Chains A and B, each alone.
Chain A
């Protein structure tokens, strides 16, 4: 038997409920539409059976829409929520979104507006409700934090999962602090990342907040990804692939963030790797030749070990940097300042394999 999504309509006006019940029944996914005229009745229905979507009015006697939504968010965080109201008030809109509602819509007055509203509802009904964080479709919290880091955001992420609330402080893409359930710092961050679903909102940044997390964000995320993969799929092949994928994303983002164009790393023994370039093999060959050549010069001239090589041409500037048991070649834009380029190269290389 085919199962249909269930929608719960909450409005204190029975005529409105009847009208929207008929309209919603025409949605392509043919949802099962239930109605409630009070917040208490709606909460009882939500407790009794699973609903995909709650469409809620704001102005209602006894318990208003915002109160209902805040309770729903705690008790049934997986249900999608829509505010449908006749009150064009910006404050209500922002308060509703702060509560994590998926959609705030003024009661449609035109056919076109109604059609758009129905399309939005259909889209919400179609989303996978099993996991993910509201606001970004099918993304894990780790993905959300990664996106914030990549865009070098300064924000405070407030994450809610039922009764649990966590906060993560970010300044220019760096994690500086986290708090939840009495835990702070890395421990809090790890607890929050273990939540598989919930809602999040961006609060204003607090750049002067005390710093309790000093590890780079990508290192923490990779450690967490590894731990979670191992817990969820011990020995599974996919876990390693996921981790590799995250490492690649972080490496490319590190390059982009610093302004570098590409990087090639050559181990003492083994296969060279390139990010942002297709010519890793050719570059690696030259890197090895240059390394040998410098070693000969160093011995003959007694000039000491090679620190690095800077090279330039019209198209780019290059840095060849021996680092631990690898050699790195980084390409930078031609107008990049030499001193800055060396320092930035060292920063990238220092965190490359961490």
Chain B
């Protein structure tokens, strides 16, 4: 039966965009999340770290932010600063969700 493996595809892995929310602590650790467990946790952690860095660098530049939205072509990242961390919303963009909810 091994010859059937000749026809099986190894499959080019298309990375899915994260969808859901997560609460992160001051060190970027994900405390709670609704993002699918299939999504790589290390990527979620990277997002958390970058989000906290953006808040911190803005504060240093005398532009303290309470909230921001990063609008990428296919993903919106909304982050609200919370005491000791942040809550982050990850929303893949579809044709019907191109505008900000604010």
A297-B50, A300-B43, A300-B46 given; A305·B72 CB < 8 A: yes
Give B46's nearest chain A residue, CB to CB.
A300
14 more A-B residue pairs beyond the given contacts A286-B63, A290-B58, with a C-beta to C-beta distance below 8 A: A282-B62, A286-B58, A289-B54, A290-B57, A296-B50, A301-B72, A303-B73, A304-B72, A306-B70, A309-B68, A309-B70, A310-B100, A313-B66, A338-B102
Is there contact, CB below 8 Å, between B64 and A290?
no
Is there contact, CB below 8 Å, between A285 and B61?
yes
A268-311: CB near B (< 8 Å → 1, else 0) gives 00000000000100110110011001101110111111111111
Give A284's nearest chain B residue, CB to CB.
B61
Give A329's nearest chain B residue, CB to CB.
B63
**Interface size, B (range):** 20 to 34
A286-B58, A293-B53, A300-B43 given; A311·B74 CB < 8 A: no
Is there contact, CB below 8 Å, between B58 and A311?
yes
Nearest CB of A to B57, in Å: 5
Give B14's nearest chain A residue, CB to CB.
A302
Q: Most chain-B Cβ atoms within 10 A of its Cβ — which of A297, A305, A306?
A: A297
| Residue contacts A-B, CB under 8 angstroms, 7 given | A282-B62, A289-B54, A293-B57, A303-B75, A307-B73, A309-B68, A310-B68
Residues of chain B in range 30-84 having any CB-CB distance to chain A below 8 Å: 43, 46-47, 50, 53-54, 57-58, 60-75, 77
A313-B66, A338-B102 given; A298·B72 CB < 8 A: yes
A283-B61, A286-B57, A311-B63 given; A297·B71 CB < 8 A: no
A302 to B54 CA separation, bound complex (whole angstroms): 19
Q: Which residues of B contact A305 (CB under 8 A)?
A: 72-73
Q: Which residues of A contact B17 (CB under 8 A)?
A: 301-303
Give A296's nearest chain B residue, CB to CB.
B50
Listed in ascending order, the chain A residues whose CB lies under 8 Å from chain B are: 279, 282-283, 285-286, 289-290, 293-294, 296-298, 300-314, 318, 338-339, 342
B10 close to A (CB within 8 Å): no
Is there contact, CB below 8 Å, between B75 and A312?
no
B18 close to A (CB within 8 Å): yes
A306 to B76 CA separation, bound complex (whole angstroms): 10
A312 to B79 CA separation, bound complex (whole angstroms): 11
Is there contact, CB below 8 Å, between B54 and A312?
no
Q: Which residues of B contact A289 (CB under 8 A)?
A: 54, 57, 61
Q: Which one, A279, A310, A314, A318, contacts B71 given CB within 8 A?
A: A310
Q: Which one, B47, B60, B64, contacts A301 given CB within 8 A?
A: B47
B94 close to A (CB within 8 Å): no
B8 close to A (CB within 8 Å): no
Give me the 4 closest cross-chain CB pairs, A-B, nearest first: A304-B73, A286-B61, A303-B75, A303-B72
A312 to B77 CA separation, bound complex (whole angstroms): 14
Q: Most chain-A Cβ atoms within 10 A of its Cβ — which of B18, B43, B53, B70?
A: B70
Is there contact, CB below 8 Å, between A306 and B71?
yes
Nearest CB of B to A287, in Å: 9
A172 to B62 CA separation, bound complex (whole angstroms): 37
Nearest CB of A to B77, in Å: 7
Nearest CB of B to A130, in Å: 49
Q: Which residues of A contact B72 (CB under 8 A)?
A: 294, 297-298, 301, 303-307
Q: Which one, B50, B71, B75, contacts A308 given CB within 8 A?
A: B71
Q: Which residues of A contact B43 (CB under 8 A)?
A: 300-301
